[in-house]
Amino acid sequence: MIYFPNAESSLGSILLVDDKPDNLRLLSTMLMEHQYEVRRVTKGVMALKTAKAAPPDLIVLDIKLPDIDGYEVCQSLKSDPLTAEIPIIFISALDHVLDKVKAFSVGGVDYITKPFQVEEVLVRVKNHLTLRTQHKQLLEQNERLQQEIQARKEIEAALQESQLELQKLNQELQRLAHLDGLTQTANRRQFDHYLQQEWNQLSVEQKPLSLIMCDVDYFKSYNDTYGHQAGDDCLRAIAQAISQAISHSTDLVARYGGEEFGIILPQTELEEAEAIAQKIQQEIQYLKLVHSQSQAHDYITLSLGITCLIPQPNSSPSLLIEWADRALYQAKKQGRNCIVTLLQESYV
């Protein structure tokens, strides 16, 4: 028999299992008077079906039943994940220690001996339902905590991914800020920054710093003859050829302005700088860019000025640019398509 009182104000649902109708009636009346929802059955198999169909908050279970005993009922309930967490209080006339030990060993949480005292049953039921409620609350709190931890991890992962993307964007912006859009070499800002940086470092180390300044010969007439698009293509090809001529990762090729390029060569002696300048001229020759209006050659050529010095703490990198410009001016004065080297007397 199953009894369903009004559960709206219930303090918990209890399944009573006892083959004695008088015991069931007394227990159910007592528990319902104290605002518990009660269901009651007289057989072990029915107890299993009822508990699994709608798991109660607590089971009060007799040991001696007409079909299967309470121990077997308890073991079956504890082996099913759906009912394993339901607390089971054994209530029995068996008062031997071994009976109690077995009750606890199969999963019972408490043991009440018949004839029972109403107050004792109420206190034990209340205590175990309180523990059950607290256990549920802890499980729910733990689940919420795990969800919060997972959500936080997902947020942190998303933030980390966003930071990486932002870092990549910043790096790309930094790269573009230092890059000449047309030739994809360093721009004038990066040239000035890098030259100052190497100047400061080499003034401490007292090692040489070389600079090559080069200019495309008669580039204005090239633009006038072939058009600005062809002129842009020409500058891109020249920038690539110059870049192929340098050998060290510390060397920097930059578009200094218009058709002029600057090549910064840290820790490079004059002889090596001159060899690089010659290699640049060879790379430009390989391009075979026709320039019918040039007074220097049938193809595009460069004029190059070289200087080299050991930076001093009390001087400025503008000194290096000044001497490289002088050398470039001399190369143009000598008819272009040539290399000129100028050095300060203090370096010679």
Tell me what the mean pLDDT of segment 143-168 comes to: 90
pLDDT for position 186: 94
- pLDDT category, 319, cuts 50, 70, 90? very high
- pLDDT category, 106, cuts 50, 70, 90? very high
Tell me what the mean pLDDT of segment 153-179 comes to: 86
| Mean pLDDT, the chain, whole residue set | 91
- pLDDT category, 168, cuts 50, 70, 90? confident
Domain range 188-341, its CATH number among 3.30.200.20, 2.60.40.10, 3.40.50.720, 3.30.70.270: 3.30.70.270
- Which 8-state DSSP code applies to residue 59? E
The radius of gyration of the chain from alpha carbons, rounded to an integer in Å, stands at: 47
Cα atoms in the Cβ-side hemisphere of radius 13 Å centred on 125: 30
CB 324 within 8 A of CB 344: no
Tell me what the mean pLDDT of segment 37-43 comes to: 94
Q: List CB contacts of 260: < 8 A, sequence separation 6 or more.
A: 213, 214, 215, 216
Question: What's the CA gap between 26 and 273, in Å, rounded?
Answer: 109
Q: Which helix (H) or strand (E) holds 199?
A: helix 188-205
Which sequence positions are flagged as catalytic?
A: 259
CATH 3.30.70.270 occupies which residues in the chain? 188-341
Is 80 exceeded by the pLDDT of residue 9?
A: no
Opening angle at CA 132, ends 127 and 136, nearest 5: 150
Tell me what the mean pLDDT of segment 126-132 comes to: 90
How many whole angstroms from its chain centre is CA 234?
Answer: 43
E-strand ranges in the chain read: 13-17, 37-41, 58-61, 88-92, 110-113, 209-216, 252-257, 260-266, 302-309, 339-341
Tell me what the mean pLDDT of segment 128-132 comes to: 90
Is 60 exceeded by the pLDDT of residue 6?
A: no
Question: What's the CA gap between 84 and 74, in Å, rounded?
Answer: 9
Amino acid at 238: I
Tell me what the mean pLDDT of segment 306-314 comes to: 94
b/e sequence 153-163, b meaning 16+ C-beta within 10 Å: eeeeeeeeeee
- Which 8-state DSSP code applies to residue 214? E
Question: What's the CA gap between 140 and 134, in Å, rounded?
Answer: 10
Amino acid at 79: S
- Helix (H) and strand (E) counts for the chain? 10, 10
328: tokens are 């470039």
pLDDT for position 3: 46
Is 50 exceeded by the pLDDT of residue 2?
A: no
CATH 3.40.50.2300 occupies which residues in the chain? 13-139
What are the tens digits of pLDDT across the range 329-342?
999 999 999 999 99
CB 108 within 8 A of CB 74: yes
Helix axes 228-245, 270-287, angle to 10 degrees: 140
pLDDT for position 1: 45
Residue 165, number of CB atoms within 10 A of its CB: 10
Mode of pairing for the β-strands spanning 339-341 and 252-257: unpaired
Is 60 exceeded by the pLDDT of residue 174?
A: yes
Question: What's the CA gap between 323 and 238, in Å, rounded?
Answer: 23
CB 269 within 8 A of CB 210: yes
Residue 311, number of CB atoms within 10 A of its CB: 23
What are the tens digits of pLDDT across the range 261-291?
999 999 999 999 999 999 999 999 999 999 9
Question: What's the CA gap between 122 and 115, in Å, rounded?
Answer: 14
Class of residue 94 by CB neighbours under 10 A (exposed 0-12, middle 13-18, buried 19+): middle
pLDDT for position 183: 95
- Residue reference for tokens 């790379």: 283
Q: What percent of the chain has pLDDT over 90?
A: 78
Omega into 115 within 30° of 0, i.e. cis? yes
Domain spanning 13-139, CATH class: alpha beta
pLDDT for position 8: 52
